Amino acid sequence: MIVQITRTKNECFLLKEMFPLWQKFADGFVFFDDGSTDDTVEWLTANKEKYNILHIFEKGKGEKESEILKIESDERQMLFDEAHKHTNKIICLDSDEYLDGELTKDKVEALLGSYNDTVFYLHWVQYTSKDRIRVDGPWQQNFTDRMGHYIQPASFPKAQMHSLHLPRGTGGGISVPTHILYVAHLQWLDMPWVGVKQYYWKVTDWVTRHQHNVGTIGAEGYDHSVNNFAWAYAPAPLPLKIREDIFKTQDMKKNPKLEYIKKYTRMFNIPNLGDWGMGIHEYCLKD
């Protein structure tokens, strides 16, 4: 049995598209909802039996978001511990990721079972369209922790943000060749959407520093990831398996991340943290 663990927030429109792809490799699911304001929790709850959703954790309700010091590793630990009650074989994917490649579920399960207390690193492939991926900067050959086989319980090192996705086991780690199995990541499919998403993280880090005096990666980390939208491309290993305009189906003005940026930019008089000339900061100051 393979169980997938996923943190999500305001991404119900993605979850509805992803489950048929996720079910190709996972038998059950455990979710942590990070305070969604859309219908994520309601939809997951209504579909628990259909998709064998084993548990849904929810971030504390009634708390002001700016006053909560999020410890991401604690949230991921809850997900891992719950999944480990059901199986030793665990996959971790975000809402905008799915697995693809040559391997079938049976072969993935056999691969996991061949190594004990081991984490598997998969090529993190950044789709920008149906047949094209990003290969500039950090995305030339980026491997990420997304599968593991854990005979023994394991613990995450503490991280306020940008935690490991899976804990390190005593058996070390193994990288999987791209053609066999990789992570298809949808983040870069739509430039306006990703601009808002990355700027949201800049604002979140600013609030975290000023409210909790906690160190963060800094705005330059997101600038490095975005690379000022000067992207280089290569053909995708396999065609994208969901519609490439998935983010364009959403009303950007109702994007909860944009609403967050607007709210806290005004509340704390946050300066323009570098919005790549997209006008995000200016828009959030308008009435």
Residue 72 sits in the same domain as residue 38 = yes
Residue 274 sits in the same domain as residue 137 = no
CA distance 195 to 204: 14
Residue 58 sits in the same domain as residue 197 = no
State the pLDDT at residue 211.
77
Confidence band, pLDDT 50/70/90 cuts, at residue 205: confident
By DSSP bridging, strand 97-100 and strand 2-8 are: unpaired
Confidence band, pLDDT 50/70/90 cuts, at residue 242: very high
CA distance 232 to 242: 22
Residues 31-58 have a mean pLDDT of: 95
Residue 160 sits in the same domain as residue 41 = yes
Residue 205 sits in the same domain as residue 64 = no
* Chain mean pLDDT for the chain: 92
pLDDT at 171 > cutoff 80: yes
Per the structure block, which two tokens stand in for 90? 């665990």
Residue 80 sits in the same domain as residue 141 = yes
Residue 19 sits in the same domain as residue 124 = yes
State the pLDDT at residue 189.
97
Length of the chain: 287
- How many domains does one find in the chain? 2
Q: State which residues form the domain around 70.
A: 2-185
Residues 97-118 have a mean pLDDT of: 96
Residue 22 sits in the same domain as residue 138 = yes
State the pLDDT at residue 177.
95
Residue type, 72: E
Confidence band, pLDDT 50/70/90 cuts, at residue 216: low
State the pLDDT at residue 224.
85
HEC letters along the chain: CEEEEEEECCCHHHHHHHHHHHCCCCCEEEEEECCCCCCHHHHHHHCHHHHCEEEEEECCCCCCHHHCCCCHHHHHHHHHHHHHCCCCEEEECCCCEEEECCCCHHHHHHHHHCCCCEEEEEEEEEECCCCEEECCHHHCCCEEEEEEECCCCCCCCCCCCCCCCCCCCCCCEEECCCCCCEEEECHHHCHHHHHHHHHHHHHHHHHHHHHHCCCCCCHHHHHHHHHHHCCCEEECCCCCCCCCCHHHHCCHHHCHHHHHHHHHHHHHCCCCCCCCCCCHHHHHHCC
Q: Which domain-ending residue is among 185, 218, 246?
A: 185
State the pLDDT at residue 140.
86
Residue 146 sits in the same domain as residue 250 = no
Helix axes 191-212, 219-226, angle to 10 degrees: 170
276 or 222, which is more confident: 276
State the pLDDT at residue 207.
87
- Domain CATH number, residue 111: 3.90.550
Residue 197 sits in the same domain as residue 103 = no
Confidence band, pLDDT 50/70/90 cuts, at residue 62: very low
pLDDT at 128 > cutoff 80: yes
Per the structure block, which two tokens stand in for 33? 């909802």
Q: Which domain-ending residue is among 185, 202, 225?
A: 185
Confidence band, pLDDT 50/70/90 cuts, at residue 214: low
Q: What is the pLDDT of residues 177-200, one digit of tens each?
A: 999 999 999 999 999 999 999 999
Dihedral Cα 110, 103, 235, 243, nearest 10 deg = -110
Confidence band, pLDDT 50/70/90 cuts, at residue 264: very high
Residue 150 sits in the same domain as residue 239 = no
Q: What is the pLDDT of residues 217-226, one digit of tens each?
A: 666 778 888 9
Residue 215, CA distances (Å) to 74, 117, 257, 268, 279 in order:
17, 31, 22, 18, 27
Q: Which domain-ending residue is among 147, 170, 185?
A: 185
Asked if 180 contacts 107 with a C-beta cutoff of 8 angstroms, the reply is no
pLDDT at 32 > cutoff 80: yes
Residue 225 sits in the same domain as residue 204 = yes
Per the structure block, which two tokens stand in for 21? 């792809």
Residues 4-14 have a mean pLDDT of: 96
CA distance 91 to 99: 10
Q: What is the pLDDT of residues 139-166, one digit of tens each?
A: 988 999 999 999 999 999 998 777 899 9
